[in-house]
Amino acid sequence: MSGIRITITHTAGSAPRDAGTQMMVWKDRTQGTIGGGALEWAAMAQARRMLSAGEAMHDETLPLGPGLGQCCGGSVSLRYEWADSMVQHPGRPLWIYGAGHVGRALVGVMAPLPDWEITWVDTALDRFPKVPDGITHLAATEPARVVQHAPQQAHHLILTYSHEIDLALCHAVLNHGFASAGLIGSATKWARFRNRLAALGHRPEEIARIACPIGDPALGKHPQALAIGVAHAMFGLGQSAMLGDKAG
């Protein structure tokens, strides 16, 4: 069903979101956000006027301070146009292995973000909850065998229910190539994995590229806390702290 797509085309001064940010507005719902409180309400009202009038396109620039009573002090230029959806830009490939509590929490945090193209893998379809829109999910009795289909610049997060599956995934990722990789587990688990991966022929400097444990210890071990910590690391905000202490 068509609605009005709103795109920020330009910003000046202080603004709540950057140029390129989009949202969709229909008569009864919205998707996405251009931020800014009063700015968004004004944009939604304009979009719904266009829906009622059948207007196809409109451009405007809104001063955030005097025009909308916001304290940002900048201005935002908006384009409104009839569309079926927001423009989807390819994100960075992120492969998540495991649909348990931590995997579900991670997908819940990462899925709404526009920067990632997520592939979610587990051993059976009935292990997945309702999968968010835009997520590719795969069932494989041997998850390590699907690693060969990931781009070599992909990011990998390994958090399955089985240590043997986790080890096989680490081995496959090291053989395949990757941008980053994280493994759920304790320092003791990682010490054992390092030894086993070395016995499989991987050099210490290669093995060290896998971060384990994942999660900021200061946040605790709750699945949502782990997800917040890992998401923080995925945006490059203090990777060593967010992916955990790798000593031991």
What mean pLDDT comes out for the span 214-224? 85
Q: What pLDDT, on a 0 to 100 scale, did the predictor assign at position 242?
A: 39
Which of 145, 144, 154, 86 shows the shortest CA–CA distance to 117? 154
Q: Tokens 């000593």: give the residue.
A: 247
Contacts for 60 with CB less than 8 Å, ≥ 6 apart: 46, 77, 78, 80
C-beta separation of 38 from 46 below 8 A: no
Indicate the average pLDDT of the chain.
88
**pTM for this one?**
0.74
Number of other residues whose CB lies within 10 A of the CB of residue 184: 25
Any idea what the Cα angle at residue 112 is, between residues 107 and 115, rounded to 5°? 95
What mean pLDDT comes out for the span 17-21? 89
Residue 15's pLDDT band, with cuts at 50, 70 and 90, is confident
Which of 110, 97, 145 shows the shortest CA–CA distance to 235? 110
* pLDDT tens per residue, range 199-211: 999 999 999 999 9
Lowest mean pLDDT among 58-67, 133-142, 207-216, 234-243: 234-243
Whether pLDDT at 239 is above 50: no
What mean pLDDT comes out for the span 128-155? 94
Tell me what percent of the residues of the chain surpass a pLDDT of 70.
90
Whether pLDDT at 70 is above 80: no
Torsion sign (Cα): 186, 188, 190, 192: negative
Whether pLDDT at 241 is above 50: no
Whether pLDDT at 145 is above 90: yes
